[in-house]
C-alpha cells in the first residue's frame, strides 16, 4: 500500500514536470492603508480616534484575504464620509458611508443604514464599519487586480 502511494506521487511529479505545470506561487501585492480620515468628525477627539482606528483595523483584516494583484504594493486611502447615530422611539439608527481610493486610480463607495437597541451601540458601530470596509476593500481589490500587470510566465520544461 505504501509503495503504491509513493509510486503515484512520483508519477504525478513526473507528469507535472513533463507537461510544464508551474508550481511556483505568484506573490500578492501587499496592502498599505496610508490614510483614514473622518472629515465630519465630532469634537470629541477620543471618539474620533477610536472610530478611525476601528475602521483601519477592519479594513486591514479584510484586505488580508483579498488578492490585489501582483503590483508589489497597493496603497489605499479611506474616508468615513458619514457616521451618524440617531435615536428615535427607543431605536438607535446608524448611517455609515465609507469611500476608498486606490493609489493609481479607482474609487469605491459603500453605504449602509442599520438599527439596534440603544444598549448595543458599540456592536452596531462595529457591524456597520465592518460591512462598509469589507465591501470597499473587495471592490478596490477587483480594480487593483484588473489594472495590475500580468504575472511573469515561466518557460515550460519540455522533456
Give the residue numbers spanning the domain of 133: 30-147
Q: Would you say residue 159 lies in a domain?
A: no
Is 112:128 a contact under the CB 8 Å cutoff? yes
Q: In whole angstroms, what is the distance from residue 137 CA to residue 37 CA?
A: 16
Query: pLDDT digit string (tens) for 110-156?
Result: 999 999 999 999 999 999 999 999 999 999 999 888 876 666 666 55
**Which three three-digit cell numbers place residue 25?**
506561487
Model pLDDT, residue 120: 93
Model pLDDT, residue 84: 93
Q: Determine the angle formed by the axes of helices 121-147 and 45-63, rounding to 10 degrees.
A: 50
> How many domains does the chain divide into?
1
Query: pLDDT digit string (tens) for 15-55?
Result: 444 444 444 445 677 888 888 988 888 888 888 899 999 99
Q: Would you say residue 123 lies in a domain?
A: yes
Q: In whole angstroms, what is the distance from residue 154 CA to residue 134 CA?
A: 34
- Of the candidates 20, 49, 24, the one whose C-alpha atom is nearest the C-alpha of residue 37 is 49
CATH number of the domain residue 67 falls in: 3.30.160
Q: Would you say residue 25 lies in a domain?
A: no
| φ/ψ of residue 9, rounded to 5 | -60, -45
Model pLDDT, residue 4: 56
Give residue 57's pLDDT band: very low, low, confident or very high (50, 70, 90).
very high
Average pLDDT over residues 91-100: 95
Q: Would you say residue 49 lies in a domain?
A: yes
Model pLDDT, residue 20: 47
Q: Would you say residue 70 lies in a domain?
A: yes
| 36, 42, 103, 122 from 133: Cα distances, Å | 11, 20, 17, 16
Query: pLDDT digit string (tens) for 60-88?
Result: 999 988 888 876 788 999 999 999 999 98
Q: Would you say residue 8 lies in a domain?
A: no
For 133, residues 6+ apart whose C-beta sits below 8 A from its C-beta are 55, 58, 59, 62, 78, 98, 110
Q: Would you say residue 73 lies in a domain?
A: yes
Q: Would you say residue 97 lies in a domain?
A: yes
Is 60:138 a contact under the CB 8 Å cutoff? no
Amino acid at each position: 500500500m505504501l509503495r503504491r502511494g509513493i509510486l503515484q506521487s512520483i508519477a504525478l511529479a513526473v507528469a507535472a514536470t513533463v507537461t510544464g505545470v508551474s508550481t511556483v506561487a505568484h506573490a500578492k501585492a501587499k496592502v498599505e492603508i496610508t490614510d483614514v480620515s473622518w472629515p465630519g468628525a465630532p469634537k470629541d477627539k477620543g471618539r474620533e480616534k477610536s472610530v478611525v482606528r476601528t475602521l483601519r483595523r477592519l479594513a486591514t483584516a479584510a484586505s488580508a484575504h483579498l488578492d490585489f494583484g501582483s503590483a508589489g504594493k497597493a496603497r489605499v486611502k479611506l474616508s468615513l464620509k458619514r457616521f451618524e447615530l440617531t435615536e428615535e422611539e427607543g431605536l438607535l439608527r446608524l448611517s455609515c458611508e465609507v469611500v476608498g481610493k486606490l493609489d493609481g486610480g479607482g474609487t469605491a463607495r459603500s453605504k449602509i443604514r442599520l438599527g439596534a437597541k440603544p444598549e448595543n451601540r458599540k456592536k452596531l458601530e462595529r457591524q456597520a464599519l465592518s460591512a462598509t470596509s469589507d465591501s470597499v476593500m473587495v471592490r478596490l481589490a477587483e480594480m487593483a487586480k484588473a489594472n495590475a500587470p500580468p504575472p511573469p510566465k515561466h518557460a515550460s520544461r519540455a522533456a
